[in-house]
Structure formats: C-alpha cells, structure tokens
Structure 1
C-alpha cells in the first residue's frame, strides 16, 4: 500500500489539474474537426482515448521531470518531499514506471490514424526535455506551451488527417494560454528558483508580471477569435467569448498576487474551468448547444 501511495504521489494523480490542462487542447482540436452530423460513437471514443492518453503521458512526464530535477527539487521548499527528491523512490524504479506508462500510452495511440501516430511520436523529445529548459533559457514556459498543447493538433489530425491554417491558429492561441498560466504557477517557487539559478518567465517578467499576462491572454483571445472566424462559427461563439475574457482579465488577474503563493495556485487551477468554458464555446459555435 505504501508503494501505491508513493506511485500516486509520484504521478500527481491526486492533482488532476495537470492532466486536465493536457486534455482540454485535445478535446478542443477533436471538437473543432469533428463532423457531428455523422456517428457520434467515434467522437466519444476518441475523447476517451485522449483523456486516457493525457493522464498516462502527464504521469510519465511528472516522473521524468522529478528524475531530471532531483537535485533542484531537494532545495525547493514546495518540492523537497517529492518521492524521488526525498529518496523514497529510486531513480531506477522511477524509470521503470515511466517506461510502463509510456507503453500504455502507446496502446492508446495506435487507435488513431498513421499521421496522428507519427506526429505524436515526434513530440516525445519535446515532452521529456522540457524540464531541462529552465537551466538554459528564461522561456521554459514557451516550451511547455508548445508541448502541452500539441494535443490540439493531434485532435484535429485524428479527424482530418492533415494540419491546416485553422488548427495552427488555435494551437498558437493555446500556447499563449499555457505561457500565461504556467508563468503564474512559477511564482510559487520564484524565491527558491532565483537562489539555485533556475530560469523562467516568472523571473524574467517579475517586475511586469500582469502586463506580461495581459499580453499572453490577449494573444489567446485574438487567435481564438480568428480561428472562430475562419471556422465560420455562428455569432454565439463570439458573444460567449466574453466569458473567457472576463475569466482571464478580471477573475484570474484579480486573484493573482505574485507575492502570495496560495493566490498563484488558485489562479492557476482556475484554468481547468477555462478549458471547459472554451470547449463549450466551440460546441456552441458549431450549433451543438
């Protein structure tokens, strides 16, 4: 039972915000591309597959992250008790868990078309090298955005079998979304990160944090409005975009206080709700609700 608890802690299964933030872009891409006049069984089947894949890959990614950041995590108050940093789980066992989770994710992946499988496999180096970026650049959140929102492209190609201009617009918007919310997340550890020499957008923009977040979220909205235009969404989509605008620019930015880690975590977690709101907006844009 103790090993099970350590596995759950290692993979952050009790913190669903991580895999939900990975899942929402998949759901967006799938919903954007799907022809809802056809059989809905495939839609729900793919939605379940993307959810399982998000849980498995996020869990594997957490383990790889903890292995690569073992020495750093031990020096940060919030992360010093993580199973690998504290020595409760060995690196060898962590690697075994990660490989096994990736194998299960592969079993999920092979249910998609060949183009989607190839794209997903091509993203693996990005997924597992992201933790190293904070050592070399102040933009690790950008690499996370590129990686974490890759599912939007996969959701699209699972149906269309190709990438087009519209999917790229939504993908770019989603990258700016992650750039914003992970910058907020990074302010929880900013003092420790500065001491041990790690880099992040949280540190780079600590003097202009809200201006940077406003810029990120503005690009998110612009790209999603543009994507909706080229998708020929109905007017309801554009009216309902006022809800995520309110959430981002009033709720999140009002909640966020870079000097208060609890407010940072609260603002960060609220992005799960934002993912659901945008998902419903897309459904509305396609006259489905």
Structure 2
C-alpha cells in the first residue's frame, strides 16, 4: 500500500507543512490525499457538530457540552473529511488532471494508484464507523444516512449549477448529529440549525469556487460561482442572511440565552465583512475569505458554550 512516489506538494497545498517535513516520504501522498495539511476542511465539517452538541446541551440544562462527544466528533470529522476527499479525487481524477490547481494532486499526478486510494478510503471510513458506533442507535442510523448525500456530491458538478447545495447537505449533517447523540431524536431546532448550515456552506463554497471558474468553464464543471457570476455579492447577502435567520430561529426554539445570540451577532458581522471586501477575481483573496469561515464557526460555538455556562450558574 505504501509503495508510492513523492513528487512534491500539491500546487494549492500549504507549503512546508508538517506533512512535507515530518512524515516519511511514503506516507506523504496519502496525507495529501486526505488534505491533512489543510485543516480548514475538517474544521468546517466539525463546527456544525459542535454547534448542535452545544445547543442540545443548553436545552438539556448542562453547563458545557459532553467532552467525550466533542473528541469523537473531532476524530470523526478528520476521518470522514479525509475519506470524502479521497472519494472525490477518485471520481474526479480525469477532471483534476485538466485543472491547473488540482493536476498535481496525488492521483492525477501518479503519486498514488487508484487501488491504493481505495484501500486508504476504506481505512478512513472504518475509523468513521468506529466513532459512529459509540453513539445511540438513532444517531448511528442518522449518521449512516448521510452516506447517500456524500456519495452523490462528486457527480453534482456535472449535472447541476448547484453542487454547493449538495455539499451543504453533507457538510452540515453534524447540525443534526450533535442534537441526536444527546436526545436520541430530532426536533425543529436542529433542523433549522441544519438549514442554516446549508445556506452558510453554499455561501462559503461559492467564494471558494471562484478560484477555479475559468478552468471549470473549460472542462464543463458547473458551480454557483459560475451561476452567480458578477451577482455573487448579492447572492451571498441572501445566503448568509438566510443562514443567520435560521441559526437565530434554532437558538430561540432551543431556549438559548443572550450570549448565544451575541456570538451569532459577532459571526454575522464577520460574514458581512467577507461580502464587503470580496473580489471574485482575486483567487488568493477568495481562498483566504473561504478559510475565515472557521472563525465564524468559532464565534457561534463560543457564544453557545458561554451561554450554557452562564445559564447553569445563574439558575
């Protein structure tokens, strides 16, 4: 499995990262395939899990979210994000070979064979399954249900202008999971949180997709970046605005207090600043703004946790 060739880092990867400086050469292509040098992906996958877990904790009267569940969600987010990237690269290997930013990825560049990538995919999926089995039966069934959306996503860019919507369905699934592991069921609050996560994901991935819009047009890949074009800012106002409304509604239904809404207000200002400064023709800036959405996730999480602590000690 580890008979690989290290031909150097991927073009759009972080340079001089621990993957390239610390790992043995034979493991580096696998780490690049899972995007270990780019933590933004698992962070964006993790935040909805932690929001939902915190929201459920607040609703149940707990001071802080369950730390063991937080650790499990972290491991699951890293494993499943890596599995998703591996699966996506297997499906897109021919397209990636035609796009400047992605042609140096491990599979199209020949660092890893498709067979090796499939074995690695299986190992990461098994890790995710091991995490999932730590939860209640309802959560296990709910988690497994997400695989249909994950499996469909790589094909969406070929058939619809809205692949970012399907990405939102997959990346926001944790907004359901956190609540489910606490209560063993769902209610309207986590569903609204999930809807907010979808709108937020469409927004930030539209910004990300503007990096590749010229190459995407040449190879026939569709995206909301190409769909919105020069009207991207207007679309982001609607998407981010909808996300904030959905989040606020979820907080209200779950009985969250003022600190949760304060965190959301700070986060909303952060999203507004993204839109204000966005230059859709500046690829480096688009990448930077995309990454800044992890800060938005932190604002929401911090507000929910502080609100839970305050409510517990003031009751």
Structure 1 position 229, deviation (Å): 1.6
**Residue 286 (structure 2) aligned to one of 244, 250, 264:** 264
8 Å Cα contact 1:187-1:264 kept in structure 2: yes
8 Å Cα contact 1:22-1:151 kept in structure 2: yes
Structure 1 position 240, deviation (Å): 3.7
Partner of residue 282, structure 1: 304
Structure 1 position 286, deviation (Å): 2.9
Q: Give the distance between the partners of 2:310 and 2:90, measured in 1 at CA.
A: 44
Structure 1 position 85, deviation (Å): 1.1
Structure 1 position 108, deviation (Å): 1.0
Q: Give the distance between the partners of 1:31 and 1:241, measured in 2 at CA.
A: 14
Q: Does 1:44 align with 2:67?
A: yes
Give the 3 Å change call, closer, same or farther, for CA 3–255 of structure 1 in structure 2.
farther
Q: Give the distance between the partners of 2:146 and 2:260, measured in 1 at CA.
A: 31
Partner of residue 43, structure 2: 20
Q: Give the distance between the partners of 1:11 and 1:255, measured in 2 at CA.
A: 31
Give the 3 Å change call, closer, same or farther, for CA 288–55 of structure 1 in structure 2.
farther
8 Å Cα contact 2:207-2:280 kept in structure 1: yes
Q: Give the distance between the partners of 2:308 and 2:272, measured in 1 at CA.
A: 26
8 Å Cα contact 1:11-1:60 kept in structure 2: yes
Task: Deviation per CA, 1:205-228: give whole Å up to 9, x if none.
Answer: 012000001110000111111112
**Residue 224 (structure 1) aligned to one of 224, 227, 247:** 247
Q: Give the distance between the partners of 1:155 and 1:288, measured in 2 at CA.
A: 21
Q: Give the distance between the partners of 2:37 and 2:249, measured in 1 at CA.
A: 36
Task: Deviation per CA, 1:240-259: give whole Å up to 9, x if none.
Answer: 43211210012x11332110
8 Å Cα contact 1:255-1:263 kept in structure 2: no
8 Å Cα contact 2:55-2:256 kept in structure 1: no
Task: Deviation per CA, 1:231-289: give whole Å up to 9, x if none.
Answer: 22223333443211210012x11332110100100100000111110101112333448
Give the 3 Å change call, closer, same or farther, for CA 288–17 of structure 1 in structure 2.
farther
Aligned length: 287
Give the 3 Å change call, closer, same or farther, for CA 240–49 of structure 1 in structure 2.
closer
- After the TM superposition, which segments of 4 or more aligned residues of structure 1 sit over 6 Å from their partners? none
**Residue 89 (structure 2) aligned to one of 66, 77, 82:** 66
Uncovered stretches (5+) of structure 2, i.e. residues with no partner: 1-23
Partner of residue 236, structure 1: 259
Partner of residue 199, structure 1: 222
SS at match of 1:158: helix
Partner of residue 139, structure 2: 116
SS at match of 2:102: coil
SS at match of 1:207: helix
> TM-score, structure 1 length as denominator?
0.95
Instruction: Calculate the aligned-residue CA RMSD, in Å.
Output: 1.6
Structure 1 position 39, deviation (Å): 8.8
**Residue 120 (structure 2) aligned to one of 89, 97, 100:** 97
Q: Does 1:130 align with 2:153?
A: yes
> TM-score, structure 2 length as denominator?
0.88
SS at match of 2:230: coil
Q: Give the distance between the partners of 2:47 and 2:90, measured in 1 at CA.
A: 26
Q: Give the distance between the partners of 1:57 and 1:177, measured in 2 at CA.
A: 20
Q: Give the distance between the partners of 1:119 and 1:237, measured in 2 at CA.
A: 26
